[in-house]
Amino acid sequence: MIDFELGDELELVRQTARGFADDHLRPRMREHESARALSAESCAAYAEIGFATLEWPEDGVGDELGALARCLVLEELAAADPGAALALDPLGPALYPLAEFGGREAVERFASPLIGGDPGRAVLVWNGPGTRRPLARNRDTLSGVVPWVPADRADLLVVLDDAGAVVLERGMAFEPLRGAGLRSAGASELTLQDAPVAAEWQDAEAARRALARARLYAAGLLLGVMRESADYSRLYALDRVAFGKPIAHHQALAFLIADMAIALESARVLTREAAWRLDAGLESQQACATAFLEAAEAALFVTPNGVQILGGHGFMQDHPVEKYMREGRALGLLFGGVDGAREDAEAGLRDAGDEGLLALGAA
């Protein structure tokens, strides 16, 4: 028999994150989105809990609960506001290149100063295959434009590609954009003009591990987005009456609601398996790419249908489903997007010699 119980420690982590989201994020969702920033009270409460150090490297300063704990926290926070979840985490996915390339020394040098009473903000930018406008390197500087990042400021910028990573602390200019998704985290065009490189590493294998962990981070956020969209639209359908019964009891809509729940659970199983593999020290790059791919594609099914179930009301800000449709699409663009994740997932199957699954996926 398969046991899906999380255990007492992880369940406590999940319940703590859910309580924080209910108290600080969900009631202020539209307020945070309009301000493109979180309230000082919410940031202070999050810092007091200590979630920022859940995945810090072994022997470093942190809780060391691992990737599965991080996924649980991200799902609960994103169910309230995925942009806020990004804004609350001082390091976010930028932690992973630091940990994979530089280990404890890099984390202490670059990450530790961002944790504290006045937390900073780190941003991770993917500059590898699939990037339309790659950043240009000139000796010890980096220049170029990133059309969109989910931030209006950064104290630390980590640029990751398929061969290595660089760290920047200066030379970053942010031009605010209106932004459609993740607005609570900010939305800007990022310009680098001869930004000096503070640190650099070259290691293709470490780059693949860092990218895998970043994709798993995004998958955790996508789970929360889908869950809230599916739950909200289901409850609406149970409450709305047409032709003498709740619209959820009409067969076509009932099947759609069931399909949305199945898509969410499928993505959750893959995401938690990938997180478990990371925590167990097993090969997990293909699993993380698959989890992100499944979550991003499932979000493209779940969140628009969440809007459709509400009909015309779904496009109004009186209901959150329009927000979750925007957020799901934005998250699916991160870290090489769906196309990059699909290529890496297929490459993992090819390396494993699993031609049968490759043929099934192509079909």
Q: Is 50 exceeded by the pLDDT of residue 360?
A: no
Query: Is the model's pTM score more than 0.75?
Result: yes
Residue with tokens 């779904």: 314
What b-and-e string marks burial along 104-128, b requiring 16 or more CB atoms within 10 Å of the CB? eebbbebbeebbeeebebbbbbbbb
Whether 117 and 61 have beta carbons less than 8 Å apart is answered as: no
Q: Is 70 exceeded by the pLDDT of residue 354?
A: no
Beta-carbon neighbour count of residue 220 at 10 Å?
Answer: 31
Q: What is the pLDDT of residue 340?
A: 87
Q: Taking the domains of the chain in order of start, what are their residue ranges? A: 206-362
Report the largest interatomic distance among the alpha carbons of the chain, rounded to a whole angstrom. 71
317 φ/ψ angles, rounded to the nearest 5 degrees = -75, 0
Q: What is the pLDDT of residue 8?
A: 84
> What is the token pair recorded at 240?
């709305």
pLDDT band at 282 (very low <50, low <70, confident <90, very high): very high
**Which amino acid would we find at residue 40?**
A
The model's pLDDT over 293-352, given as tens digits with 9 standing for 90+, comes to 999 999 999 999 999 999 888 888 889 999 999 999 999 999 999 998 999 888 866 666
206-362 is classed CATH 1.20.1730.10: no
Using the 8-state DSSP alphabet, how is residue 110 labeled?
A: I
* β-bridge partners, 195: 142
Helix axes 321-331, 285-310, angle to 10 degrees: 150
Distances (CA, A) of 281 to 62, 67, 70, 276: 18, 11, 16, 9
Is the model more confident about 244 or about 257? 257
Which residues 6+ apart lie within 8 Å of 26 measured at CB?
80, 81
Distances (CA, A) of 319 to 99, 151, 195: 39, 25, 42
Instruction: List helix spans (H) across 201-317.
Output: 204-239, 251-280, 285-310
Distance CA 100, CA 214 (A): 11
Is the four-CA dihedral 31, 37, 39, 44 of positive or negative sign? Answer: positive
pLDDT band at 153 (very low <50, low <70, confident <90, very high): very high
Q: What is the pLDDT of residue 132?
A: 85
Q: By three-state DSSP, how is residue 196 classified?
A: strand
CA-wise closest residue to 292 among 309, 312, 267: 267
Q: Is 60 exceeded by the pLDDT of residue 59?
A: no
